[in-house]
């Protein structure tokens, strides 16, 4: 979305930067799930409304949501109103907490699919960037096995790109080298 200031700011400061905070990772996974069938800019424009509606994506709060919260979310024009996606976010919060309760760190679980460090790709152009990778397929399978929804390999790969698990800035992008300098394996 070149020319859109919000999208450009997201690309220039956030997209591809390695994220390890479990709450932030869960937020991005939920938002990528809400994106299914939509353009990312739609979600980006609604991100602050999503944060307000979902208690800043605090899994402990979202896990307690009941029917009144579902109704409130479905009535909120500031977010994407989809019963299935809202239910997926609420159940995802519960799964996230269950993982933590069993001593499983959400961040480590996700980052283990890339060996704990960003994969440094060297794509020459946007057309070279795949829609999914074997790592995304494996992560999607593992997330689905835990009960997460809206976590197919394409959504998961977009999540991996956004959270810096892979550096998919093309080599001609001014962000490629700074993101590469943040570390990772080639």
Give pLDDT tens digits for 3-34. Answer: 899 999 999 999 999 999 999 999 999 999 99
120 sits in which H/E element: strand 119-120
Residue 120's DSSP bridge partners are 167
186 pLDDT above the threshold of 90 = no
Q: What's this model's pTM, rounded to 2 decimal places? A: 0.95
Rounded CA-CA distance 118/60 in Å is 28
For residue 77, the tally of other CB atoms under 10 A from its CB is 7
What is the pLDDT averaged over residues 111-117? 97
Q: What percent of the chain has pLDDT over 70?
A: 97
pLDDT of residue 3: 81
Q: What angle, rounded to 10 degrees, do the helices at 67-74 and 83-101 form?
A: 130
Q: Are 159 and 183 in contact (CB under 8 A)?
A: no
Residue with tokens 């689905």: 144
Reported as a single tens digit per residue, the pLDDT across 28-86 is 999 999 999 999 999 999 999 999 999 999 999 999 999 999 999 999 999 999 999 99
Q: Tokens 């996974």 appear where?
A: 29
pLDDT for residue 7: 94
């Amino acid at each position: 979305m070149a020319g859109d200031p919000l999208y450009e700011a997201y690309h220039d400061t956030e997209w591809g930067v390695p994220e390890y905070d479990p709450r932030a990772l869960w937020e991005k996974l939920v938002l990528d799930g809400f994106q299914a069938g939509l353009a990312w800019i739609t979600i980006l424009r609604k991100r602050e409304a999503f944060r307000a509606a979902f208690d800043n994506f605090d899994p402990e709060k979202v896990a307690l949501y009941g029917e009144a919260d579902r109704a409130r979310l479905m009535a909120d024009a500031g977010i994407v109103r989809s019963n299935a996606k809202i239910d997926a976010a609420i159940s995802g919060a519960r799964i996230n907490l269950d993982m933590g309760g069993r001593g499983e760190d959400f961040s480590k679980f996700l980052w283990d699919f890339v060996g704990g460090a960003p994969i440094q790709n060297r794509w020459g152009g946007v057309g070279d960037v795949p829609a999914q990778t074997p790592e995304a397929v494996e992560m999607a399978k593992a997330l689905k096995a835990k009960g997460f929804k809206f976590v197919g390999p394409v959504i998961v790969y977009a999540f991996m790109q956004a959270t810096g698990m892979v550096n998919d800035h093309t080599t001609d992008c001014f962000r490629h080298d700074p993101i590469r300098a943040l570390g990772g394996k080639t």
